[in-house]
């Protein structure tokens, strides 16, 4: 018996190692809004763009890419943490092809939301169309890798969905369409229903590892704080409560689908907590400024309003939580991604 014990152990270890490797995430596939758009809007006729300076100032070679930050965004850091590649390219960028997209691709569009009405505001890519592009991508991948290998990639890829902020700040609280139709509670349920259908479609198309992002404390975005100046420019607590409420609904959806759908590995990546920690205790993270953004005066500038000739833009974005009045700096993105990798996404490593 003892004679066989060691080879058997080695065999079991080898088998476990093979299982571990084949279960690793080979690709990151991204859907959503500006939090995860790596440049799709450069190829869309909309004013919601960021492919000009000073965007991308701290990106490799200081190049603006259409990411809404001074450097990399959340999903870039996730891809790197999973040992794949340091950035996730945009699907509509013609300088990339299926070779690069095999290990990761973003279909996200800045200004988009769960609701079609949201993406209509600035004529950006609606969520249903992001999914349409994804189906086109599946077809290309099968042509490129062969059906079997493509299916393996698609079932082991990590799908990341990050959306929702614009549905409230750009749509429900700005336009009468949905606000006259739904109470805020009904509107949240409507969005959760769309998120549910979207996840189910991904699942039916072969996706298994899926991360659904929660909302950050949207009342603390400099753009929102700026509307609160009469009250000292603090965070708008009603918006923060709304984000927390919506996150609870998303979390419940995740729990429900995990029970109902065989083989699905759905996680809720809630950045609310880590964002709040950063905003409440910036010095602990090396930040000096949370209330205003680096770009321009830091109170309202984003997209074309954040431009290279604005004399107020800060020198060192690493001291700022927010890059423009609506989006985090590269440094913040890195901290939030690191937190996700160690918490919600740890099951996939």
Ligand X SMILES: *[C@@H]1O[C@H](CO)[C@@H](O)[C@H](O)[C@H]1NC(C)=O
Q: Which residues are catalytic?
A: 34, 324, 327
Instruction: Point out which span in 35-43, 92-100, 263-271, 329-337 binds ligand X (CB under 6 A).
Output: 92-100
Of the two residues 46 and 112, which places its CB atom closer to ligand X in the complex? 112
Identified binder of ligand X from the candidate list 36, 84, 191, 194, rule CB under 6 A: 194
Using the rule CB under 6 A, is 94 a contact of ligand X? no
Kindly state the smallest distance separating residue 50's Cβ from ligand X, in Å.
24
Of the two residues 144 and 182, which places its CB atom closer to ligand X in the complex? 144
d(CA 9, CA 15): 10
d(CA 328, CA 281): 16
Instruction: Point out which span in 10-18, 94-102, 103-111, 154-162 binds ligand X (CB under 6 A).
Output: 94-102
Residue 90: closest CA among 137, 146, 25: 137
Count of residues making up the chain: 349
- How many residues touch ligand X under the rule CB under 6 A: the total is 7
d(CA 83, CA 73): 16
Identified binder of ligand X from the candidate list 22, 47, 83, 97, rule CB under 6 A: 97
Backbone angles phi, psi at 29, to 5 degrees: -120, 125
Q: What is the DSSP string of 235-247?
A: --HHHHHHHHHHH
Identified binder of ligand X from the candidate list 23, 128, 305, 310, rule CB under 6 A: 128
Kindly state the smallest distance separating residue 191's Cβ from ligand X, in Å.
9
Dihedral angle at the C-alpha atoms of 45, 47, 53, 58, nearest 10 degrees? -90
Using the rule CB under 6 A, is 98 a contact of ligand X? yes
Using the rule CB under 6 A, is 138 a contact of ligand X? no
Of the two residues 83 and 193, which places its CB atom closer to ligand X in the complex? 193
Kindly state the smallest distance separating residue 113's Cβ from ligand X, in Å.
11
Site for ligand X in 139-168 (CB under 6 A): 144
Using the rule CB under 6 A, is 116 a contact of ligand X? yes
- CB distance 218 to 168 below 8 Å: yes
Of the two residues 130 and 301, which places its CB atom closer to ligand X in the complex? 130
Instruction: Point out which span in 6-14, 53-61, 96-104, 208-216 binds ligand X (CB under 6 A).
Output: 96-104
Residue 215: closest CA among 159, 264, 265, 276: 276
DSSP E strands in 249-290: the ranges are: 265-269
Instruction: Point out which span in 11-19, 93-101, 156-164, 312-320 binds ligand X (CB under 6 A).
Output: 93-101
Of the two residues 52 and 96, which places its CB atom closer to ligand X in the complex? 96
Query: Tokens 């609506």 map to which residue?
Result: 326
Of the two residues 112 and 162, which places its CB atom closer to ligand X in the complex? 112
**What residues have CB less than 8 Å from 262, skipping those under 6 apart?**
none
267 CB burial (10 A radius; 0-12, 13-18, 19+)? buried
Instruction: Point out which span in 12-20, 91-99, 152-160, 321-329 binds ligand X (CB under 6 A).
Output: 91-99
Query: Tokens 């603390």 map to which residue?
Result: 220
Backbone angles phi, psi at 326, to 5 degrees: -130, -15
C-alpha separations of 304 from 88, 253, 308 in Å: 24, 36, 10
Kindly state the smallest distance separating residue 144's Cβ from ligand X, in Å.
6
Kindly state the smallest distance separating residue 140's Cβ from ligand X, in Å.
9
**Token reading at 102:** 């095999």
Of the two residues 197 and 226, which places its CB atom closer to ligand X in the complex? 197
Give the interface with ligand X as residue ranges (CB under 6 A): 97-99, 116, 128, 144, 194
């Amino acid at each position: 018996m003892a004679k066989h014990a060691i080879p058997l152990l080695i065999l079991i270890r080898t088998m476990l190692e093979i299982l571990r490797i084949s279960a690793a995430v080979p690709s990151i596939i991204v859907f959503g809004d500006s939090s995860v758009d790596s440049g799709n809007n450069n190829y869309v006729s909309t004013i919601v763009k960021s492919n000009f300076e000073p965007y991308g100032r701290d990106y490799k070679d200081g190049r603006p890419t259409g990411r809404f930050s001074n450097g990399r965004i959340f999903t870039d850091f996730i891809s790197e943490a999973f040992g794949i590649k340091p950035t996730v390219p945009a699907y509509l960028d013609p300088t990339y092809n299926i070779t690069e997209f095999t290990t990761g691709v973003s279909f996200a569009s800045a200004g988009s939301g769960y609701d079609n009405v949201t993406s209509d505001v600035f004529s950006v890519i609606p969520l249903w169309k992001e999914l349409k592009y994804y189906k086109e991508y599946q077809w290309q991948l099968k042509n490129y890798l062969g059906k079997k290998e493509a299916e393996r990639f698609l079932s082991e890829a990590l799908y990341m969905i990050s959306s929702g902020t614009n549905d409230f700040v750009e749509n429900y609280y700005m336009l009468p369409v949905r606000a006259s139709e739904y109470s805020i509670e009904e509107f949240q349920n409507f969005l959760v229903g769309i998120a549910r259908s979207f996840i189910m479609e991904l699942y039916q198309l072969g996706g298994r590892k899926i991360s659904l992002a929660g909302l950050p404390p949207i009342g603390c975005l400099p753009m929102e704080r700026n509307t609160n100046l009469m009250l000292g420019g603090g965070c708008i607590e009603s918006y923060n409560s709304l984000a927390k409420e919506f996150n609870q609904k998303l979390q419940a959806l995740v729990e429900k689908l995990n029970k109902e759908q065989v083989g699905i590995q759905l996680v809720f990546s809630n950045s609310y907590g880590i964002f709040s920690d950063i905003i409440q205790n910036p010095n602990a993270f090396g930040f000096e400024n949370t209330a205003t953004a680096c770009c321009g005066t830091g109170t309202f500038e984003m997209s074309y309003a954040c431009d290279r000739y604005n004399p107020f833009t800060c020198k060192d974005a690493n001291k700022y939580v927010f890059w423009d009045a609506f989006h985090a700096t590269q440094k913040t993105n890195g901290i939030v991604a690191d937190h996700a990798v160690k918490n919600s996404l740890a099951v996939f490593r």
